[in-house]
Structure 1
Amino acid sequence: MKVVIAIDSFKGCCTTLEAANAVERGIRYYRDDIKTKILPIADGGEGTVETLVKSLNGKYVEVDVLNPLGKKIKSKYGILPGKIAVIEMAAASGLPLISEEDYNPLITTTYGTGQLIRDALDKGCKAIFIGLGGSATNDGGVGMAQALGVSFKNKVNQEVGFGGGELKGIEFIDISKLDPRIDNTEIVILSDVTNPLCGKNGAANVYGPQKGATPKMIQILDDNLQYFGSVINKQLSIDVMNLSGGGAAGGLGAGLVAFCQAKIHSGVEKVIELIGLEEHLLDADLLITGEGRIDAQTINGKVALGVARKAKKYGVPVIAIVGSIGEGADIVYSHGIDAIVDIVSEPMSLEKALEVGISLLEKTSERTMRIWDASVKHRNVKSATGILIDC
Structure 2
Amino acid sequence: MLSRVVVAPSGFKESLSAQAAADAIADGVRRVLPDAEIDRVPLVDGGEGTAVALAAATGGRLVALPATGPVGDRLGTHFALLGPAGDTALVEMAAVAGLSLVPHSLRDPGATTTYGVGELIRAALDTGVRRILVGCGDSGTSDGGAGALQALGARLLDPDGFELPPGGGELLRLHRIDPAGLDPRLARTELLVACNPYNVLCGERGVARVFGPQKGATPAQVEHLSAGLENWAYVLTRDLAVTHTELRTGPGTGASGGLGAALAALGARLLPRFDVLLGHLDLDARLARADLVVTAEGALDHQTPRGKVPAEVARRAKRYGRPVLALAGTLGEGAHEVPGVDAFSGILPAPMALAEALVRAGELLTDATERALRMILLGARLPAHAEVSGTQRPSSVR
Instruction: Say whether the 8 Å CA contact 1:40–1:55 is kept in structure 2.
Output: no
CA-atom RMSD in angstroms: 3.2
2:177 maps to 173
2:66 maps to 64
1:93 maps to 97
1:286 maps to 292
Which of 164-173 and 137-146 deviates more?
164-173
1:362 partnered with 2:366: yes
| Distance (Å, rounded) in 1 between the aligned partners of 2:223 and 2:356 | 41
Q: What amino acid is the match of 1:315?
A: G
| Distance (Å, rounded) in 1 between the aligned partners of 2:332 and 2:38 | 29
Q: Which of 328, 335, 341 is equivalent to 1:322?
A: 328
Say which SS state the counterpart of residue 297 (structure 1) adopts.
Answer: coil
Say which SS state the counterpart of residue 304 (structure 2) adopts.
Answer: helix
Structure 1 residue 311: Cα displacement? 0.8
Shift in CA distance, 187/21, structure 1 to aligned 2, threshold 3 Å: same
Fraction of identical pairs, as percent: 38
Which of 106-115 and 80-89 deviates more?
80-89
Q: How far does the alpha carbon of each residue in 1:97-149 deviate from its partner, in whole angstroms, 9 at most, with x for none? A: 34444444444322111001111122233333323334343332222112122
1:242 partnered with 2:249: yes
1:197 maps to 201
Say which SS state the counterpart of residue 177 (structure 2) adopts.
Answer: strand
Q: What amino acid is the match of 1:192?
A: N
Structure 1 residue 21: Cα displacement? 1.6
Instruction: Say whether the 8 Å CA contact 1:41–1:52 is kept in structure 2.
Output: no
Structure 1 residue 286: Cα displacement? 1.9
Unmatched 5+ stretches in structure 2: 388-398
Say which SS state the counterpart of residue 290 (structure 2) adopts.
Answer: coil
Judging by fraction of residues, say which structure has more helix.
1
Instruction: Say whether the 8 Å CA contact 2:114–2:143 is kept in structure 1.
Output: yes
| Distance (Å, rounded) in 2 between the aligned partners of 1:171 and 1:352 | 47
Shift in CA distance, 113/5, structure 1 to aligned 2, threshold 3 Å: same
Q: Which of 350, 366, 391 is equivalent to 1:347?
A: 350
Shift in CA distance, 209/359, structure 1 to aligned 2, threshold 3 Å: closer
| Distance (Å, rounded) in 2 between the aligned partners of 1:170 and 1:348 | 47
| Distance (Å, rounded) in 2 between the aligned partners of 1:303 and 1:113 | 24
Give matches, 1:141-156, under 5 Å.
141-154=145-158
Q: What amino acid is the match of 2:96?
A: A
Aligned length: 379
| Distance (Å, rounded) in 2 between the aligned partners of 1:246 and 1:374 | 47
1:336 maps to 340
Unmatched 5+ stretches in structure 1: 380-387
Instruction: Say whether the 8 Å CA contact 1:39–1:55 is kept in structure 2.
Output: no
Structure 1 residue 330: Cα displacement? 1.4
Instruction: Say whether the 8 Å CA contact 1:269–1:306 is kept in structure 2.
Output: no
TM-score by length of structure 1 reads: 0.83
1:6 partnered with 2:8: yes
1:383 maps to none
Structure whose alpha-carbon radius of gyration is higher: 1
2:259 maps to 252
Say which SS state the counterpart of residue 296 (structure 1) adopts.
Answer: coil
Q: Which of 72, 79, 92 is equivalent to 1:77?
A: 79
Shift in CA distance, 365/144, structure 1 to aligned 2, threshold 3 Å: same
